[in-house]
């Protein structure tokens, strides 16, 4: 846990969130500023700063994040209509929170990827 990290504080419960799913490796919660009718964030429980600082020992964890996102999409009935998984990485992507996260967005026709 990084004591200065917003999402670590969400994991610990120091900052409240609307939880969607949790197990020993990942946690999912509603994005506080949704950009689509469905907007969930999937994060590792352990602090991983960036996709680009993850190492091979975290491959399964990142795969588990993606499959968790897909299951959430299924539960929310957007698996068939379609949804998007987004990882923002670094300055040009607009990444704001330096704790790896996947955005799951859907529930309407999404625009082109910028
Ligand atoms: P990114 O730009 O990829 O780093 O995305 C960070 C996301 O975290 C944004 O979509 C924010 O709306 C979201 N966010 C920031 N603070 C919170 C919070 N306290 N609870 C839930 N989502 C948050
Ligand atoms: Zn963190």
pLDDT given at position 33: 98
- Cβ–ligand 1 distance for 98 under 6 Å, the answer no
Tell me how far apart the alpha carbons of residues 81 and 15 are, in angstroms, rounded to a whole number: 33
Express each pLDDT in 12-61 by its tens digit.
999 999 999 999 999 999 999 999 999 999 999 999 999 999 999 999 99
Instruction: List, as ranges, residues with CB under 5 A of the ion ligand 2.
Output: 2, 5, 7-8, 47, 99
CA of 67 to the centre of ligand 2 (A): 21
For residue 31, the enclosing domain spans 1-52
Active site residue 101: yes
- Cβ–ligand 1 distance for 46 under 6 Å, the answer no
Q: 0.85 cut: is pTM over it? A: yes
pLDDT given at position 114: 84
Dihedral angle sign, alpha carbons of residues 9, 14, 15, 20: positive
Q: Is residue 23 part of a domain?
A: yes
Report which protein residue has its CA nearest ligand 1's atom 18: 32
CATH code, 31: 3.30.428.10
pLDDT given at position 38: 98
The count of structural domains within the chain is 1
Q: Is residue 5 part of a domain?
A: yes
- Nearest Cα residue to 108 out of 31, 36, 30, 34: 36
């Amino acid at each position: 846990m990084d004591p200065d990290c917003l999402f670590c504080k969400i994991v610990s419960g120091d900052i409240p969130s609307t939880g969607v799913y949790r197990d020993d490796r990942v946690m999912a919660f509603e994005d506080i500023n949704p950009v689509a009718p469905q907007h969930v964030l999937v994060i590792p429980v352990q602090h991983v700063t960036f996709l680009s600082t993850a190492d091979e020992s975290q491959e399964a964890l990142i795969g588990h994040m993606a499959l968790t996102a897909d299951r959430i999409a299924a539960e929310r009935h957007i698996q068939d209509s379609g949804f998007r998984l987004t990882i923002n990485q670094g300055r040009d992507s607009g990444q704001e929170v330096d704790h790896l996260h996947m955005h799951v967005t859907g529930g309407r026709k999404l625009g082109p990827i910028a």
